[in-house]
Amino acid sequence: MSMSGRPASYDRLAPLRRFCEPGPGIRMPLSAVDPRHTVGMTLDLERLMSLWDVPPGPDAEAEFAGLYADPFVLNGASTPVSALVAMSRGLHAAVAGQRREILDVLTAGPDRVAVAFVVRGRHVGPLPSRLGTVPPTGRDVEMSVIDLFTLSGGRITEVRAVSDELGMLIGLGAAGPGTQP
């Protein structure tokens, strides 16, 4: 069993795999996914994932600006890089030992990339969520994420982020049967 209570053989990406059937030059097979791979030579996935895995230091804004346009569009809203740094700091205050595992990468030309990954860590601080702030539980946490990136000039100009926040909250005991809003 995984931390989510699902059988270890459960394939979270099965719906995505059925929806995104392979096409020439469109899909990189899961077996070929390597975080050191540079998609289309424009997006350094290892650098991107490690940027989020490590708590932001004093040069964080410059480091994020090396990958993201400033401002960029996040889920339809213009967002400054400084807001990303604040988001990263907040996530690291709530979840220690963060690590991201890339599960799959889909490309649609040189400027569109979808990355499916899992974020793992330990819930050690207040965690803001759509259901309210979750006090620290000390539990291991896991959240599946799919980010759709648009690139221009070698930097991320738009992100559509879809995450399984509800699954994470259920895993923390903050949502589901027996919980109150």
pLDDT, tens digit, 9 for 90 and up, residues 13-56:
444 443 343 333 333 333 344 444 444 446 888 899 999 999 99
DSSP-assigned states of every residue in the chain:
--TTSS-TT--TTHHHHHHS---TTTEE-GGG--TT-EETTTEEHHHHHHHHHSPP-TTHHHHHHTTEEEEEEETTEEE-HHHHHHHHHHHHHHEEEEEEEEEEEEESSTTEEEEEEEEEEEE-S-B--TT-PBPP---EEEEEEEEEEEEETTEEEEEEEEE-HHHHHHHTTSSSTT---
Whole-number pLDDT of residue 163: 96
How high is the mean pLDDT of the chain? 82
Q: Domains, the chain, ranges and CATH?
A: 30-171 (3.10.450.50)
In the predicted model, what is the mean pLDDT of residues 152-181? 89
pTM greater than 0.85 (yes/no): no
pLDDT at 131 over 50: yes
